[in-house]
Amino acid sequence: MSDPSPLAAFGDPSNPQRQFSAEAAHARLAELQSRLEQTTSKTKEMAEQLGALQATAQDENGVAEATVNSSGALIDLRLSGKVQSLHPADSSLAILAAVDAAKTLLAERTREVIADTIGSDSEAGKAVLDGIDRRLGLDNDEETRP
């Protein structure tokens, strides 16, 4: 593929040496169709894998374990016996820390799926990666917490 222009096979009216070639045009269209089918397949694979993602993590003291689904919503929360000896505010902070850790793990797994399917450098990959932390609420520091 010496000429990156998708229309190169159709000739160049300003250059008489590059006349229309039906064979070249057909080959170029077949190549474009193949690339489109590959991209569609990889995008579908990515979407299926991302939709199935879940992440589970604990706070650093093992008080709370949180599981989030592919959109970062909390779907399971387990508290250890340690919670009984904690002040309610400390329990709340442990829960929030576990949820944040699960979301961070989800973001990492999301990046891996994108890299393995459509590629982190592709336009679609960049678009998905661009808002992961924001979408999961990971760009908010603990400063906003009580």
The answer as to whether 132 is a domain residue is: yes
The answer as to whether 134 is a domain residue is: yes
CA dihedral 97, 99, 102, 107 (to 10 degrees): -100
Average pLDDT for consecutive 10-residue bins of the chain (146 residues)? 55 64 82 87 90 97 97 96 95 97 96 92 86 79 47
The answer as to whether 97 is a domain residue is: yes
pLDDT digits (tens, 9 = 90+) for 2-38: 455 655 555 666 666 666 677 877 888 888 888 889 8
pLDDT of residue 53: 96
DSSP E strands: which ranges in the chain?
55-58, 64-68, 74-79
Query: Distances from the Cα of 26 to the Cαs of 8, 37, 44, in angstroms?
Result: 12, 16, 27
pLDDT of residue 1: 44
CA 8/CA 116 separation, integer angstroms: 31
66 close to 82: Cβ distance less than 8 angstroms: no
Range of the domain at 55: 49-144
HSE of 96 in the Cβ direction (CA atoms, 13 Å)? 15
Count of structural domains within the chain: 1
70 close to 52: Cβ distance less than 8 angstroms: yes
The answer as to whether 78 is a domain residue is: yes
The answer as to whether 33 is a domain residue is: no
> Phi and psi (nearest 5°) for 77?
-140, 125
pLDDT of residue 70: 93
pLDDT of residue 140: 52
Give the pTM. 0.72
The answer as to whether 41 is a domain residue is: no
Write out the DSSP string of 30-75. HHHHHHHHHHHHHHHHHHHHHHH--EEEE-TTSSEEEEE-TTS-EE
DSSP 143: G
pLDDT of residue 145: 45
Which CATH number belongs to the domain containing residue 132 in this structure? Answer: 3.30.1310.10
The answer as to whether 56 is a domain residue is: yes
Nearest C-alpha neighbor of 63 from the set 34, 97, 32: 97
The answer as to whether 39 is a domain residue is: no
